Structure 1
Amino acid sequence: MIHAVSAHNQSEYRPYLRQLWQQRYDVFVEKMGWSLDCAEGTERDQFDRPDTVYLLSINDDGQLRGAMRLLPTTKPHLMSDLFSHLCAKGVPSGETVWEISRFYSLTGRHMMLERDRTVSELICGLYEYALETGIKQVTCVASMVLFPTILKAGWDVTPLGLPAVTDDEVVLAFLIDLNRRDYPLVARNRNVEGSVLLRRSLREEQWEIAS
């Protein structure tokens, strides 16, 4: 199940957020070797702010299995501050355009099916959250290695510029259109039936995104 965590309900998820930042360190610093300015054992940066929204994949046993971060593009975010050079016509921004980053799913032996399910639920959870709150587009910077997976999701993807090498990795900036018409294809491509988003984790105040 995907839980949407924002300033309005962060107090309910504090143990999960501490675990989130520990997992991000394990995934992005230890396993992927990213050079990030963070304390040992915890990956948390200037974009983990009160207005940040986290989508957490929490299984039936209450274990955090993966997550992604959403940032409003009307304020400083990764693409505007660190990757604007990847956008040939400027960084997209607006009230209905948000950025996704720090997308991960835990991996390990005998966990590939679970990992794929986590990724699928996060993808569909993002789509559901966007439809609920009025987000129409999301931006992202990702490794070219992941681009086939992104296309396989069934999203309407537009590259924002040419790929470039960052920290010995070829990355690309792109824009994804999210609309109700395409969602059935996205869910079918990811073998997801029914809703994956926990509605009670949404708060009335989050509808301000759509205003």
Structure 2
Amino acid sequence: MRAIAVPPKTYSNSAVLLDSMHRLRARAFRERMDWDLDVKDGREADQFDNCRPTCILALSDRNEVAGCARLLSTAGPTLLSVRFPELIGSGLPHAAMIESSRFCVDTSIETGRAGKALHDATWTMFAAIIEWSLANGYRELDTETDVRIERILRRVGWPMARIGAPKPIDNTTAVVGLLPTDQANFERVRPASYCSSINRSRKRPEGSPSR
């Protein structure tokens, strides 16, 4: 299992992989979870895909997209600001925070589970999100997810600190939480088979405080 980051500047070079990502999102969120999302020609996309996010992908040995997540600058607009506007303020968001959304994995892809209960793509995605955040100077991640993913995060030892109350959205109970993106958590969730082409050179996000 290999992890890559697709920033806006490489969209055109990664068009086939991004197309597979949108197909995976349609299968995961519309077909499997029955969320009320717009799907066109077997692909799921929304207005936040037009905000030039960085996409994190987990690829199988056959170069199949086995997992994906969308990372958006908390400068906005974000899912947090649109769906949970009551949480904006009181220090949220801040310049060293990134937002993750549309996290999903394709557990039908035979890649093995690295001797663990969860699919290797899940571990790879968690590690890749933290690695990218470390490489780009982000120390915290906010995410809107459902209680099932919250339980998985707890199981892998990367527990999410809830902010605000759970809210029913579509056919799920949505929760918003914060996750630290530090080296200790990266080491904790990184599977033994982890391979990544994510740039580890660190740079401070614009507007973040000096350390």
Q: TM class by shorter-chain length?
A: 0.7 to 0.9
Do the aligned residues in 2 keep the contact of 1:7 with 1:50 (CA within 8 Å)?
no
Q: C-alpha separation between the residues in 1 aligned to 2:175 and 2:12?
A: 35
Q: C-alpha separation between the residues in 1 aligned to 2:22 and 2:162?
A: 29
Q: Quickly say closer, same or farther: Cα 1:82–1:92, change in 2 above 3 A.
A: same
Q: C-alpha separation between the residues in 2 aligned to 1:163 and 1:90?
A: 19
Q: Could you tell me how far 1:148 is from its partner in structure 2?
A: 1.6
Q: C-alpha separation between the residues in 1 aligned to 2:35 and 2:16?
A: 25
Q: C-alpha separation between the residues in 1 aligned to 2:158 and 2:19?
A: 31
Q: Quickly say closer, same or farther: Cα 1:8–1:113, change in 2 above 3 A.
A: same
Q: Quickly say closer, same or farther: Cα 1:148–1:56, change in 2 above 3 A.
A: same
Structure 2: where are the runs of 5+ without partners? Answer: none
Q: Quickly say closer, same or farther: Cα 1:159–1:77, change in 2 above 3 A.
A: same
- % identical aligned pairs: 22
1:170-209 paired onto structure 2 within 5 Å: 170-187=173-190, 192-193=191-192, 196-199=195-198, 202=199, 207=203, 209=205
1:83-94 paired onto structure 2 within 5 Å: 83-85=84-86, 87=87, 92-94=92-94
Do the aligned residues in 1 keep the contact of 2:98 with 2:142 (CA within 8 Å)?
yes
Counterpart of 1:95 in structure 2 is 95
1:21 equivalent in alignment to 2:22: yes
How high is the TM-score relative to the length of structure 2?
Answer: 0.84
Q: C-alpha separation between the residues in 2 aligned to 1:152 and 1:89?
A: 30
How high is the TM-score relative to the length of structure 1?
Answer: 0.84
1:166 equivalent in alignment to 2:169: yes
1:2 equivalent in alignment to 2:6: no
SS in 1 for 2:144: strand
Q: CA RMSD in A?
A: 2.7
The answer to which of 176-185 and 72-81 deviates more is 176-185
Counterpart of 2:40 in structure 1 is 39
Structure 1: where are the runs of 5+ without partners? Answer: none
Across the two proteins, how many residue pairs are aligned to each other? 203
